[in-house]
A and B are shown apart, each in its own frame.
Chain A
Amino acid sequence: MSDQEKDNITPFRLPDEGSGENKETFAERLRRRKDELSSGGSSRPAPTWQSRRRTLAALVVESPHHSASIARKRADAARALDGVEAVILAEDLPPFQNSLGPDFSGEPLLAGDEVFYRGQPVAIVVATDEATCLQAADALDIEYHTTEGIVDLDHALAMKSFHGDPRVCERGAAKPTLSEAQKTLRGSFKIAPQESCLSEPLSVTVRPVDNGLALNIQSKALLPTSVRTAAARAADIPESSVFLDSIPLAGATEALEMEPVRLAMLATHASIKTGSTIQLALSSEHSPLTRGRRHAVQAGFEVGFDEKGVISALNLNLSLDAGFYVADSATVMDRAMLHADSVYAIPNLRIAARLCRTNTIVSSTLPAEGAAQGTWAVEEVIQKVAEAVDLPPHTVRESNFYNEEKELKTTPYGQPVNATAISRVWNQVLVRSDYENRIKEVERWNKKNSTHKRGISIIPIKFGLGDPRSERNAAASIIQILADGSVLVRIGMVDTNDGLSSQIQEEVARHLGIDADSVRVILNDFDVLPRATPVIGTDAAGLVLRSLEEACKKLLSRLREVALQLFAARGQTEIEMEAIQFSNNSVGSDISPTSPLHFKEVIEGAWRKRVNLVETGYHRTPNLWWDPDLGGGWPFSSFTYAAAVAEIQIDAFTGEIQVLRLDVAHEGSPSVNQSDRDFAQLMRSFTIGMGWVLSEEPDSPSRERDHYVGEGISGFADAPFQIFTDRLRPASDRSSAAGDPCGEAPLLLAISIREALWDALRSFGLDASLEIDLPLPATPPSVLATCKKISQQLREQNEEKKKA
């Protein structure tokens, strides 16, 4: 590399899409790469058979500081070590390659002269084994001059360290109404982050194939096609030459969306440099790079209401910790904003959200990211309003609902709300839980019991299915009918172990009128289907099911023709094509007096007549749009509604919490036989929410020591003692019904536990006159500390009264 080229490498540069290099066609690029390889004129060595046989270990060297300038980077000693194959620093990357790509807002792949968060990759060391890698990493001479970084939200807000301007979504006039309101309340609270806690360390394997002209990549990722795009860009080969071996996941929290992209790019560079297979690992399984982190939020509010608790105006400000480089935070911010009205028809509502820049890394792929924070914020406000007017929170909630009789029929951004569905789940859960009586029982219990206090609460939720980034709301699928009438379905979507394949089986079988057993579903197929559907934050299952429906329709219309011909051959010419039905493995018309055809017979006929039995399905949600500048749009394919009642008990000796009973009413998926799947999804999602609310203490970024966060994931014995769920049929008609209403939405229901906690604390003496902050997560130490604070403040109040 010449000196001039070196000067061109600036860490923040985005790939120059407009440059001539990128305009070359694939053919040209391939030819160029082949020429380079054969002439040896390339900076990149062609892998020899010896190098291809080897598998090398690579390790990412991470910055140990939040914020520092790098005064010196020397790798000579490390490179000289036995067994070390390569050490790659920012300077060693090919020109224009030191960038993570547009999604990462200019984050460099390897840090240049400065590091901006702990864990930021500074170098990659490649060696024969992991131990040597560690040795080499130690031998690297990197001198950091630390500077004071911004490590938390408070600090960022104080320093006015933001990414861009706030986004606003508004209806009515919040400010003037606030000044006229009977009562007003203002305050702020924090919503803690949550971490993904992968149970297996994140690793990526990159294997050069086809003489270095193609790559094979193995990684656990939620969006493997983005890994493919990134690796292709890093290797400067067409995407079609990158093959993905993706690994099925144990759950949606077992992988990340953004981080595998980074690792795949790093591993690809290492693989190109050495011509060998690279197994890339991180220095520690606690590395910040393996953590998906739910955005921490600081919420400020000003709310106007009357003595019945009916809210006339709310001004809500959400500040999200977006880390130093923005990954997907803008969407998270949008989702938080778009959920901050929840099910409440607040006539004058102003929701403002902005991203704070801190010296941390935040990339989130947890279920209901954004939506959970937004819903949380408004529920917390309502809880405070209820306290101020001294009414039970559920009455205040109910009087603020979107309601058939109220004028407001849409969200502040203009998407219609189904008010009937809200009251349906709400009333259902009220009945199921016997709420009124249970409140009285809880009161009775708390009166006679001084050591264990109970609390109960009810929460309704509205969850938007779909992603505000409309390009993510599309799915492709392929259906093949084989000669014997069995069916192969291919889906370009990561298998997150949520039982989707059984739902696909059911739906495809229903469309084609055959047995579910004869349908085989292949998830994780990215070679055949180039467009992967993101599984988190989108209505992925709904998209896939609708694309399949479309494919089935096309196939059926062809098969109908075949059937018609077969009937005609039998001499039954009176049958009309439209009347031919497919059900129970038979094909025929209802009016037809004669026996129908077997599905297999039709397929056999189609086979002989050379009818195409392969069909692709493609679905994109129609009419999706979201304009963040306007604060308006139709960002979700639909809403799903649910409500939950939670009853908890606090042990006043230890602060430990047990969830006694949970009642849920929710909308089910449109498939008839999927109640088990819906229930399983609901429980998994709810458990993640419960951990967030109760036990998962996030690692504080100011702490230098590694801390094992996974310990807080709630255990088997922490699950609610009793669980009752009512699965209601989707409110809207089948065609527009939600595909996967239980995938992420139930996470929001865990907020009911938090509200129940507030309720229990009231029996410890908490009321509106006290200044009490309930920490999140409500771990035993923090609950006990809160109880202590309550009694302390009550004592002070009494003393003051006595003095007066």
Chain B
Amino acid sequence: MQSWFSFELDGEPCRVESEDTHLSLASFLSQLDPCFSSFAHHNPWHNSKLIVIGDIENESHRFRVADAGLLMMPMLAGRQVWTPEGIRNVEPDHPVNLALQKGNFESGTEREDALITLMFEGYYRPDLRRQGQISDQFDAINTRTANVPAIRNAAAQVFASTEQLRHEAAQKAERSGQESTVWTGKKDIFGDRFTKRLFQINERTTLNYVDKSKRRFYRPGTLVEMMRLKAEYPSAQIVAGGTGLTRLGKSVEFSNLISLEGVKELNEIITTEDAWEIGSAISLTQIAEKIGRELTSFNKILRRFGSRAIRNRATLGGYLATAWPYGQLAPLLIALNARVILLSQDGERDAPISQFYREDGGTITTPGEIIRSVIIPRANAGILAARGITSRLCDVYCAAPKRTMSQSYATGAFAVELRDKTIVKAWIAYSGIAKSPVRVREVEEALTGKPWTESTVFSILPILNQAVQVEDADASDTLTDYRKQLIVTLFQKFYYQHPTPSSTDPVSLTATGEFAKLSQPFFDSLSS
């Protein structure tokens, strides 16, 4: 055991000694220096305090924005942290800082904090290429004090410049015959002060930390070690990203903590011919980066999940374990026919996601068990053909008071597998309408064997309406009525967006593209 650990804060080593295991980075910073005093007041939903973490993820070096109020100090051991102050006060100015000095964004340094960190992360984000992604990148910003259109413009300019940088690096690599170096995090193409330091990070280290009140924080490196610790400290709390746990705030007495972040086996995505096995400790952002291209519905629902800073830390395992009734991912996982693998000392067992949740709002995990991974079957043509399926339509819909950062009213995910025009199998699942996600088997069965047509959908709607009950004691009548309506209309929307067996990609109903140019790239290499 050690009573200290260290991490890198704004480019300088920072040693932390005997601080509480559950002390948040926000509290730590607010006591460190007056320039961080605003970090003392923290509210993840309304007033998040963002910083950037530099880390190594499966051999790639990455900057990720995170909410300092939702980070426990020991989670940072061996990592790099850049505060807004640190990003601002570098000579020569970081391009992001330069971009923010023009225009009236959120004048005054303290209030630019969230903006500068998000812009900084976006600057190094290789997958940030289109205008429509700006909203996803900046959804943690409080719009009452921010100037949204000005931020959009500045972001588009900054991201265009990095795209150009990446483009040039790729061209250079092509000429010299090397493999493409569009920034993968495996090679430093920026060569600035920040990336130079970033590439000095080695493997994620293990950590056995004990604080002054004898509470322990373990970050084991292997699954075996982790199971041993779990057996040794049965009451210990398992933490992954920590976004769910720290949300509870002061009211929780933290016992010993075991972090999954260092466990190799839980931090990888294994891609096979017919499925992805996603380790439970991988962040949602990483999952989206890995499988989002093929599984667009996953990307789609993530766009309405929390905010960028939360998605960067939240994990699939943590999501499943907390069993939040309004969670937006569960219905999609059900529709994708995903399975969860649970691990205990006695061995492994697995269950479909729909059976993972108990009706009372809990899950089937027993005290000795941890969630090891989630297996999502792939649905490419070859796999489907082997099963005699000609196409699989799958999508997810969510209705919420606003686009992001809010508790959704209801989420529905649907899938149908078709042989020619006939439905072979269907999945219909909702969350937000009961204590746990609901799968409507009655309707799924009713659909089976019928053709995928408007009349089938209309004939099924009354059954759907009957089959699902909305249970929410707290909600008003209007809200209950609304949710009841959503159960039907979300399914209708699914049909309208996927009207034929060949429409695996959703049909656009809104044509908002003419207004927003969402798919327009920041940087068009052809035009330059």
Known: A715-B139, A719-B143. A780 touches B148 (CB 8 A): no
Q: How far is the CA of A660 from the CA of B397 in the complex (A)?
A: 20
Q: Which residue among B103, B399, B492 has the maximum number of chain A CB atoms within 10 Å of its CB?
A: B399
Q: How far is the CA of A655 from the CA of B479 in the complex (A)?
A: 12
In the complex, what's the smallest C-beta–C-beta distance from B426 to chain A, in angstroms?
19
User: Chain B residues with Cβ under 8 A from A718's Cβ?
Assistant: 143, 402-403
In the complex, what's the smallest C-beta–C-beta distance from B30 to chain A, in angstroms?
12
User: Chain A residues with Cβ under 8 A from B399's Cβ?
Assistant: 654-656, 780
Contact (Cβ within 8 A) A716 B147: no
Known: A248-B108, A656-B399, A782-B478. A719 touches B510 (CB 8 A): no
Contact (Cβ within 8 A) A719 B145: no
Q: How far is the CA of A704 from the CA of B15 in the complex (A)?
A: 47
Per-position binary interface string of chain A over residues 709-720, scored 1 when its CB falls under 8 Å from any chain B CB and 0 otherwise: 011111111110
Nearest CB in chain A to that of B303: its residue: A717
Tell whether B135 is near chain A: CB-to-CB under 8 Å: yes
Q: How far is the CA of A199 from the CA of B496 in the complex (A)?
A: 41
Contact (Cβ within 8 A) A201 B41: yes
The residue from A499, A501, A683, A715 contacting B404, defined by CB atoms under 8 A apart: A715
Contact (Cβ within 8 A) A713 B150: no
Q: How far is the CA of A661 from the CA of B517 in the complex (A)?
A: 12
Contact (Cβ within 8 A) B104 A676: yes
Q: How far is the CA of A497 from the CA of B511 in the complex (A)?
A: 37
Known: A781-B409, A785-B481. A654 touches B486 (CB 8 A): yes
User: Chain B residues with Cβ under 8 A from A782's Cβ?
Assistant: 478
User: Chain B residues with Cβ under 8 A from A501's Cβ?
Assistant: 107
Q: Which residue among A199, A445, A679 has the maximum number of chain B CB atoms within 10 Å of its CB?
A: A199
Tell whether A558 is near chain B: CB-to-CB under 8 Å: no
Instruction: Kindly specify which of A230-238, A250-258, A261-269 makes contact with the partner chain.
Output: A250-258
Contact (Cβ within 8 A) B46 A654: no
Contact (Cβ within 8 A) B45 A708: yes
Q: How far is the CA of A251 from the CA of B515 in the complex (A)?
A: 29
Per-position binary interface string of chain B over residues 83-119, scored 1 when its CB falls under 8 Å from any chain A CB and 0 otherwise: 0000000000000000000011111101100000000
Contact (Cβ within 8 A) B106 A651: no
Q: How far is the CA of A687 from the CA of B150 in the complex (A)?
A: 13
Q: How far is the CA of A684 from the CA of B146 in the complex (A)?
A: 6
Q: How far is the CA of A711 from the CA of B397 in the complex (A)?
A: 20
Contact (Cβ within 8 A) A497 B481: no
Q: How far is the CA of A788 from the CA of B146 in the complex (A)?
A: 36
Known: A679-B150, A780-B409. A712 touches B145 (CB 8 A): no
Tell whether A16 is near chain B: CB-to-CB under 8 Å: no
Nearest CB in chain B to that of A690: its residue: B143
Tell whether B177 is near chain A: CB-to-CB under 8 Å: no
Contact (Cβ within 8 A) A683 B150: yes
In the complex, what's the smallest C-beta–C-beta distance from B243 to chain A, in angstroms?
17
Tell whether A771 is near chain B: CB-to-CB under 8 Å: no
Q: How far is the CA of A784 from the CA of B485 in the complex (A)?
A: 9
Tell whether B422 is near chain A: CB-to-CB under 8 Å: no
The residue from B104, B107, B496 contacting A451, defined by CB atoms under 8 A apart: B496
Known: A199-B43, A653-B489, A653-B490. A680 touches B402 (CB 8 A): no
Per-position binary interface string of chain B over residues 257-300, scored 1 when its CB falls under 8 Å from any chain A CB and 0 otherwise: 00000000000000000000000000000000000000000000
Known: A653-B492, A717-B135. A710 touches B147 (CB 8 A): no
Known: A710-B45, A711-B401. A679 touches B147 (CB 8 A): yes
Contact (Cβ within 8 A) B401 A684: no
In the complex, what's the smallest C-beta–C-beta distance from B465 to chain A, in angstroms?
14
Known: A452-B509, A782-B478, A785-B482. A684 touches B402 (CB 8 A): no
Tell whether A508 is near chain B: CB-to-CB under 8 Å: no
Q: How far is the CA of A199 from the CA of B485 in the complex (A)?
A: 34
Known: A248-B108, A660-B515. A684 touches B478 (CB 8 A): no
Q: How far is the CA of A332 from the CA of B118 in the complex (A)?
A: 39
Contact (Cβ within 8 A) A716 B141: yes
Known: A714-B143, A716-B141, A717-B139. A676 touches B150 (CB 8 A): yes
Q: How far is the CA of A490 from the CA of B401 in the complex (A)?
A: 43
Contact (Cβ within 8 A) A721 B512: yes
Tell whether A381 is near chain B: CB-to-CB under 8 Å: no
User: Chain B residues with Cβ under 8 A from A113's Cβ?
Assistant: none
The residue from A497, A656, A695, A712 contacting B107, defined by CB atoms under 8 A apart: A497
In the complex, what's the smallest C-beta–C-beta distance from B493 to chain A, in angstroms?
4
In the complex, what's the smallest C-beta–C-beta distance from B132 to chain A, in angstroms?
10
Within 461-479 of B, Cβ neighbours of A (below 8 Å) are at 474, 478-479
Contact (Cβ within 8 A) A250 B482: no
Tell whether A649 is near chain B: CB-to-CB under 8 Å: yes
Known: A197-B46, A502-B107. A251 touches B143 (CB 8 A): no
Known: A691-B144, A784-B485. A717 touches B493 (CB 8 A): no
Contact (Cβ within 8 A) B482 A449: no
Contact (Cβ within 8 A) A715 B478: no
Interface size class for chain B? 35 or more
User: Chain B residues with Cβ under 8 A from A494's Cβ?
Assistant: none
Within 460-507 of A, Cβ neighbours of B (below 8 Å) are at 495, 497-499, 501-502
User: Chain B residues with Cβ under 8 A from A200's Cβ?
Assistant: 41, 43, 47
Tell whether B202 is near chain A: CB-to-CB under 8 Å: no
Q: How far is the CA of A201 from the CA of B46 in the complex (A)?
A: 12
Q: How far is the CA of A449 from the CA of B496 in the complex (A)?
A: 12
Q: How far is the CA of A719 from the CA of B482 in the complex (A)?
A: 24
Known: A449-B509, A498-B107, A784-B485. A711 touches B45 (CB 8 A): yes
Contact (Cβ within 8 A) B403 A717: yes
User: Chain B residues with Cβ under 8 A from A714's Cβ?
Assistant: 143, 402
Tell whether B142 is near chain A: CB-to-CB under 8 Å: yes
The residue from B407, B479, B515 contacting A722, defined by CB atoms under 8 A apart: B515
Q: Which residue among A649, A781, A788 has the maximum number of chain B CB atoms within 10 Å of its CB?
A: A781
Tell whether B138 is near chain A: CB-to-CB under 8 Å: yes
In the complex, what's the smallest C-beta–C-beta distance from B166 to chain A, in angstroms?
25
User: Chain A residues with Cβ under 8 A from B138's Cβ?
Assistant: 716
Contact (Cβ within 8 A) B485 A788: yes
In the complex, what's the smallest C-beta–C-beta distance from A711 to chain B, in angstroms?
5
Tell whether B516 is near chain A: CB-to-CB under 8 Å: yes
Contact (Cβ within 8 A) B150 A680: yes
Per-position binary interface string of chain B over residues 379-415, scored 1 when its CB falls under 8 Å from any chain A CB and 0 otherwise: 0000000000000000001011111111101000000
Tell whether B191 is near chain A: CB-to-CB under 8 Å: no
Nearest CB in chain A to that of B518: its residue: A721
Tell whether A359 is near chain B: CB-to-CB under 8 Å: no
Contact (Cβ within 8 A) B482 A784: yes
Tell whether B149 is near chain A: CB-to-CB under 8 Å: yes
Contact (Cβ within 8 A) B406 A688: no
In the complex, what's the smallest C-beta–C-beta distance from B59 to chain A, in angstroms?
32
User: Chain A residues with Cβ under 8 A from B136's Cβ?
Assistant: 717
In the complex, what's the smallest C-beta–C-beta distance from A140 to chain B, in angstroms?
21
User: Chain A residues with Cβ under 8 A from B139's Cβ?
Assistant: 715-717
Within 310-359 of A, Cβ neighbours of B (below 8 Å) are at none
Contact (Cβ within 8 A) A499 B107: yes
User: Chain A residues with Cβ under 8 A from B482's Cβ?
Assistant: 655, 780-781, 784-785
User: Chain B residues with Cβ under 8 A from A723's Cβ?
Assistant: 149
Q: Which residue among A449, A501, A654 has the maximum number of chain B CB atoms within 10 Å of its CB?
A: A654
Contact (Cβ within 8 A) B486 A715: no
User: Chain B residues with Cβ under 8 A from A712's Cβ?
Assistant: 401-402, 406
The residue from B489, B493, B510 contacting A649, defined by CB atoms under 8 A apart: B510
Q: How far is the CA of A560 from the CA of B124 in the complex (A)?
A: 55
User: Chain A residues with Cβ under 8 A from B509's Cβ?
Assistant: 449, 451-452
In the complex, what's the smallest C-beta–C-beta distance from A190 to chain B, in angstroms?
15
19 inter-chain pairs at a CB distance below 8 angstroms, sorted by A residue, are A250-B142, A451-B509, A501-B107, A653-B397, A654-B489, A655-B399, A680-B150, A688-B144, A695-B402, A711-B407, A712-B406, A713-B144, A715-B139, A715-B406, A716-B404, A717-B139, A717-B404, A722-B515, A785-B482
| Smallest CB-CB A-B distances: 10 pairs | A781-B482, A199-B47, A717-B403, A251-B145, A717-B135, A200-B41, A654-B399, A721-B516, A719-B148, A680-B104
Beyond known contacts A660-B516, A711-B405, A719-B149: 8 more, CB 8 A cutoff: A199-B142, A451-B509, A687-B143, A687-B148, A695-B402, A717-B139, A779-B401, A780-B400
